[in-house]
Structure 1
Amino acid sequence: MSDSVGNGVNDGVSNGVSDEKKRRKAMLIRAGIYILGTHLFAGFVILLFALGNRH
């Protein structure tokens, strides 16, 4: 009986750690997408300024 209780506790901790790793990975992917999108937008704005500056 103590084995099943011990396994339940370990599974809960294991799931918590697994969930935290998934959240961290998702956060890093989201941050990477935001950074990439921001750089692409900034490059587009710089391109517009460069094209607008030509006479």
Structure 2
Amino acid sequence: MSGRSEADAAAKHAKWLENGVALRAFFYIFGTHVFAGFVWLLFYLGQHAQK
């Protein structure tokens, strides 16, 4: 009986880790795009600034 509950706990932990990795990857990709957009905006504004 105990072996089965340990296996269930291990499977739940593995699924939690997979979800954590997917969530981190999403935020890293999203954050990188936000940062790239900000840099693009700086270049755009710099090109169109009154000189």
Question: TM > 0.5 between the two?
Answer: yes
Q: Structure 2 CA distance, aligned partners of 1:30 and 1:8?
A: 33
1:16 maps to which residue?
10
Question: Which structure: larger Rg?
Answer: 1
Taking only aligned residues, the RMSD between alpha carbons, in angstroms, comes to 0.8
Q: Structure 1 CA distance, aligned partners of 2:45 and 2:27?
A: 27
2:40 maps to which residue?
46
Q: TM-score, normalised by structure 2?
A: 0.89
User: Which of 11, 14, 26 is the aligned partner of 2:20?
Assistant: 26
Structure 2 residue ranges without an equivalent (≥5): none
| Matched positions, count | 49
Q: TM-score, normalised by structure 1?
A: 0.83
Q: Is 1:36 matched up with 2:18?
A: no
Structure 1 residue ranges without an equivalent (≥5): 1-6
Q: List 4+ stretches of structure 1 deviating above 3 A.
A: none
Q: Structure 2 CA distance, aligned partners of 1:50 and 1:9?
A: 61
